[in-house]
Amino acid sequence: MAAIGRFQKGDDIFYAKVVDGEIYRVRGDVFGSPSFERKPMKLKGVRTLTPVIPSKIIAVGLNYADHARESGKPLPKEPLFWLKATSSLIPDGGKIEIPFPNHRTDFEAELAVVIGRRIRNVAPAAAARYIFGFTSAEDISDRTIQHRESQWARAKSFDTFTPLGPYIETKIDPQDLTIQLFQNGQLRQNSSTSELIFNCYQLVSFISTNMTLFPGDVILTGTPSGVGPIKSGDRLEVRIQGLAPLINSVK
**Would you write out the chain's pLDDT as a tens digit for each of its 251 residues?**
689 999 999 999 999 999 988 999 999 999 999 999 999 998 889 999 999 999 999 999 999 988 888 888 888 899 999 999 999 999 999 999 999 999 999 999 999 999 999 999 999 999 999 999 999 999 999 999 999 999 999 999 999 999 999 999 999 999 999 999 999 999 999 999 999 999 999 999 999 999 999 999 999 999 999 999 999 999 999 999 999 999 999 99
Q: What is the CATH number of the domain that holds 27?
A: 2.30.30
Domain that holds residue 22: 3-48
Closest CA to 75 of 67, 83, 84: 67
Same domain, 19 and 76: no
CA–CA distance, 228 with 161 (Å, rounded to integer): 15
What pLDDT score was predicted for residue 142? Answer: 98
What pLDDT score was predicted for residue 73? Answer: 81
Same domain, 84 and 22: no
pTM above 0.95, yes or no: yes
How far apart, in Å, are the Cα atoms of 63 and each of 74, 231, 250? 11, 26, 26
Give the angle 63-119-163 at the CA atoms, nearest 5°.
Answer: 50
CA–CA distance, 98 with 109 (Å, rounded to integer): 17
Same domain, 136 and 76: yes
Same domain, 212 and 171: yes
Same domain, 68 and 16: no
**DSSP code of residue 103:** S
